[in-house]
Each structure stands twice: as structure tokens, then as C-alpha cells.
Chains A and B, each alone.
Chain A
Amino acid sequence: MTTTVERPPVQEEVAPAQRGNKVGPALLTVLTWIIGIGFFFPILWMVLTAFKQEADAYTTPPTLFFTPTLDQFAEVFDAGIGPYLLNSLFATVMSTIFVLALAIPAAYAVSLRPVKKTQDVLFFFISTKMLPVVAAIVPIYVVVNNIGMLDNVWTLIVLYTAMNLPIAVWMMRSFFQEVPKELLEAASMDGASLWRSMREVVLPVVSPGIAATSLICVIFAWNEFFFAVNLTAAQAATVPVFLVGFITSEGLYFAKLCAAATMCALPVVIAGWIAQNKLVQGLSFGAVK
């Protein structure tokens, strides 16, 4: 009790001042909610419209209450979104697997067993992201055309792998740096094999990083449009390309468009919602753990 005497009296003044001011925080909370709902509202409206009949989608003022229907989704399936969804899924999953297969050893090399010039290599990777994609699309198109790989989903897989690899190397590197070096050294002194020390020391530390990196790769690959629209047609096109074609053919039907857009965006939105914390870890390049 005697120690409290030593405390500066300032603290006691601060507390009542904070208590007296309760309206401010409440207003800020309300403001935060309004902003959150406002930002989300266009998406909510898109999803609501997707469940409307076309007649309800076109009213002014807009209808809030209506009988929900799945007709529009059925029509989008009838229009043949299925194969496009499969292409997107295949391109996304395969490119993410390739990115991880290349990025994990690379990140291991630059963080746990560095050699000279490691830093140059890291900056080489990130510098490739800075070069505008559009400057490469012409030769890519010509080469892909010459080797008969236009409209082939594997072309997209190779390009998406290259697109996500630099970011993945940087992210994985930041997670590998968390591995306690002492433990690794101790393991190798005990005569543990490389494989065993990887499994028992490295993997537990970096596996959240692998999840975060995968999520970012999945988001960018699923949402990619530029390569897909320029290099694919009927066979290998992905969902964003389907959506664009759908606008051309069904441009006047709001509800149907919203249903198609919802189906295009939904998988990634749900993945991102579930793994929000991974998203933060990944996007901050591991600056946040």
C-alpha cells in the first residue's frame, strides 16, 4: 500500500476525465458501423438483386422486400458457367501449388542458409512485380500462339505461378526468419537428418505462413483477368471472362448479371472471411505475426 504513495497523482486525474466522456466513444462506434455498412452495401445489394425476379430488380425506388428466387442462379448455370468455374478452380489450385513448391525452398535458401548476393536475389524477385504486365503481353501472346498453347489452361497456370511467386518468396522468407536458429543448430548437432529437423523444427513455425501465402495466391489467381481475357477463349476461359461475355449477351438483365457476379466473387470472399488473420499476416509481408 505504501508504494502507491510514490505514484504521480496525474493518473487519478486521467481516470475521471475518461469516465466523464462517454458520448464521444459511442458516437465513434456508430460512425464506424455506418462506414462499415456503407462500404459493404453495394455488395449486399448485388447479392440481394441476384435473388430477385428481373421485374423487381428494375423498380424505382429500389425494392427492399421481395420474394426471393433462385431462378437467376439457375439461368446462369444454364448459360454454362460450370466449365468456367472448373477452369478457375484448376488454374487457381495448380498455380498455388506450384508457387509453394518453388517459393518454400527459395525462401528457405534466402533466410536460413543465406549466401552472398541473397539480398540482390530478393530484390530481383520483387522488381519483377514492378514491371508492368502489359509490356510482356505481346511477346507472351506471340510465343504462346506459336507453340499452340493459346486457350490452354496450363498457359494460365504457368503465368499465374510467375505472377504470384515473387510475393510468395518475400512472404515465406519473413516466416522462415522466425525459425529459432539455436533449435536448428541443436538438432543438427544431435545428428538429426535434414528431413527430420525440417519436419520437427521448421514446419511448425512456418506452417501458418504457408497458409497465409496460399490464401494471397488464391485470391490473386482467382481474380486475375488480363491474361485470361487475352490468352483464352472457349476452352480454358475462367469465371471473370465468363462474366464479361455474359454482360455482352445479357447486359440488360440486372438480376441475372448480379447472380453471375455473385458466383464469380463468392468463393474468394468466403475464403478471405474465414482466414482474415492470415490475410493480414500475408499482406503485411509477415511484418505482423
Chain B
Amino acid sequence: MTATVERPAEIVPREPVNKGREGWVRRAPLLPALVFTIIVTQLPFLFTIWYSLQSWNLVRPGSQQFVGLDNYVNVFTDSQFRGVALNTVVLTVGAVLIAMVLGLAFALLLDRQFRGRGVVRTLLITPFLITPVAAALLWKTVLFSPTYGLINFVLSPFGAGQTDWISAFPLTSVMVALVWQWTPFMMLLTLAGLQSQPHDVLEAARVDGAGSFAIFREITLPHLRRFIELGIVLGAIYLVNTFDAIYMMTQGGPGTASANLPFYIYQRAFLGFDIGQSAAMGVVVVVATIIVSTFALRLIFRSFQEES
């Protein structure tokens, strides 16, 4: 393990051939996927940059004209945009971290021999499989509904009454639904990590008289580290794009109290038809994401370096 960490930044150092035809023959199988990905995922961003320099509203035909950086000035003076950006950070970081802590706890519980373990694991992974739109509907109607919701029914002995959870705590409600959906994902990853622990090392530590907590902190946690990092990075990639839950549960409201950037930009583009403005927001989001993901990529990168 220690030797691989020292390795220079190269995942696949085997016989790098890069000259002439041989190189192209080797590259050929890669090209279709590469070209397709560039066309479908990168070209739109170039257009986004171009649109972001225009004033263009779809409901006013012929309104398209070049305005330079005006849209960007608007983005940065838009106090709603700042609030929404903050919501995005809170929602993503909150949901990822809570889901990870719960997922790790559940994984530790499942990493034991007991009756019905397979069944419990099956039950626990199901929220991740449920279509997000259906999951959000479930939370909105079956669980959070003020009159018929299960949450109020369960809490009624404690005097919960008919609290309208989604109106009272819109952002938190969305986060609860997301944590419910993503905890299984984190659990599966950390459980996989736990089960790949070398048993002889654990046994040796136990023989040496190490306590359970010491073993967890000194051996298990370091071993789990790359699984935890992978879970956090992948979870964040998907959760930062959260749209379905907000669309279904709150429509970003009241006002923009529970809107995140994807939802806000969607509103501007498809309800306000303001192409230029929403494109500028998109560019700002992309730049911010690039900054954050540079760190994230480094994490993934380190994980896979250790693996290979």
C-alpha cells in the first residue's frame, strides 16, 4: 500500500506506445465514446457562453442582441441568486454529510452476522432505487401532508397537531427526502468497504488486546477512507444537480426559500424565457463547479491510484 502512494501521477504506466499508426490503432476504440461525449456535453457549454453575452427573451421575438457582460453584472447583483447559491451549498453539503454518517452507521450494523441480514439490506437499499419523482411525491403526500401524513400521525401523541412541515421548513423537508434517498447509497459503499477489510489484521489487533473503538478508529476508518471519499464525491455530483425533489415538493418556494441553482436557472429559462440571463447563471455555476471539482477530482484520483 505504502509503495503505491509514492507512485508518480500515472494510473496506467504500462508500455506507453504513442507513435504513428500503432498509437492510432490503439486509440481507435476510444474515439467514438470520446467524440460523442465532446459533442453532446461540451458543445452546449460553448453555446451557453455565447448566449450569456446576449440579451434574449424567447417571448419577445427579435429581441436577441449582443450585450457583453451585462447579464453577468445582473447575476452578481441579484440577491436572490446569492440566496439560491447558498441554498445549493447547504442542501448538497448537508444531505451528503448526513447521508454519509447514517450510511456508515447502518453499514456497521449490517456488517455482522444475524438472522435476516439479507432482508434488512434489501429493505435499506430500496429508497435509492425508487424514482426520485415518486420518492418526492411520497414525502409530500404520504409523509408530510398536514392532515393525513404519517409523520403527524406518529407525532400526534406528542402534540404535533396538523403541522404543515413543507410550508414550515421547506428546505429542511427537501433535505430529509434527499437524505432518505442517498443514505442507502452511502451505506452500500461503506458496507462494501467494511467487507473488504483484511480479517487477519482485525484478528491480530483483537489478540493484541485492542478495544472495539480503537480498532474502528485505527484500522477500520483508515481502510474505509477511500470508500467514504468516493461516496462523498459521487453523492455530491448527483445532489448538486437536485431538481426533481424541489420541483415536486416545494417548487422552490415560498419565494426562492427552497430553490437551488438548477431549479432557479430552470425557472428563469423555462418560465421566464430569459435565455441570456439563465445562460450567464449557468456559466457562473460551471465556473464555481470547476473550482470545487478540481479538489474532488484530486480525491477520486488519489483513491484510484491506491487501488491500481
Contacts and interface: CB of A to CB of B under 8 A. Distances in A.
Question: Do A and B share a complex?
Answer: yes
Interface of A: 8, 10-11, 14, 25, 28-29, 31-33, 35-37, 39-43, 45-46, 49, 57-58, 60-62, 102-103, 105-106, 108-111, 113-119, 121-143, 158-159, 161-162, 165-166, 169, 174, 177, 219, 222-223, 225-226, 229-230, 239-240, 243-244, 247, 254, 257-258, 261-262, 264-265, 268-269, 271-273, 276, 279-280, 283-285, 287-288
Contacts of B195: 288
Given A106-B34, A116-B16, A230-B270, A288 B196 contact: yes
Interface in B182-196: 183-185, 188-189, 191-193, 195-196
A284 B48 CA distance: 33
B207 A115 contact: no
Given A121-B30, A132-B262, A223 B47 contact: no
Main secondary structure of the interface of B (DSSP, over half): helix
Contacts of B266: 134, 137, 226, 230
Interface in B164-220: 180, 183-185, 188-189, 191-193, 195-196, 206-209
Contacts of A128: 37, 41-42
Chain A contact residues, majority secondary structure: helix
A136 B262 contact: no
A271 B11 CA distance: 33
B30 A110 contact: yes
B44 interface: yes
Interface in B44-58: 44-45, 47-48, 51
A118 to B, nearest CB: 5
B130 to A, nearest CB: 5
A273 B137 contact: no
A230 B43 CA distance: 19
B278 A127 contact: no
B74 interface: no
Nearest to A239: B131
Contacts of B241: 132-134, 226
Given A265-B130, A287-B226, A126 B300 contact: yes
B132 A223 contact: yes
Given A135-B282, A165-B37, A42 B143 contact: yes
Interface string B237-269: 100110110011000000000000110011001
B12 interface: yes
Interface of B: 9-12, 14-18, 23, 26-30, 32-34, 36-37, 40-45, 47-48, 51, 106, 109-110, 112, 114-116, 119-135, 137-139, 141-143, 147-148, 150, 153, 180, 183-185, 188-189, 191-193, 195-196, 206-209, 226-227, 230, 234, 237, 240-241, 243-244, 247-248, 261-262, 265-266, 269-270, 275, 278-279, 282-283, 285-286, 289-290, 293, 296-297, 300-301, 303-304, 307-308
A63 to B, nearest CB: 11
B131 A131 contact: no
Contact of B206 (A14, A36, A45): A14
Contact of B129 (A36, A254, A265, A287): A265
Nearest to A226: B243
Contacts of A174: 307
Contacts of A121: 30, 34
Contacts of B148: 57-58, 60, 62, 254
Nearest to A288: B192
B133 A32 contact: no
Most buried by A among B16, B40, B206, B227: B40
B151 to A, nearest CB: 10
B85 to A, nearest CB: 12
B289 A132 contact: yes
B261 A132 contact: yes
A265 B129 CA distance: 8
A133 B114 CA distance: 43
Given A132-B262, A132-B282, A138-B282, A119 B33 contact: no
Listed residue (A40, A143, A177) with the most chain B CB atoms within 10 angstroms of its CB: A40
Given A25-B112, A39-B180, A105-B29, A165 B244 contact: no
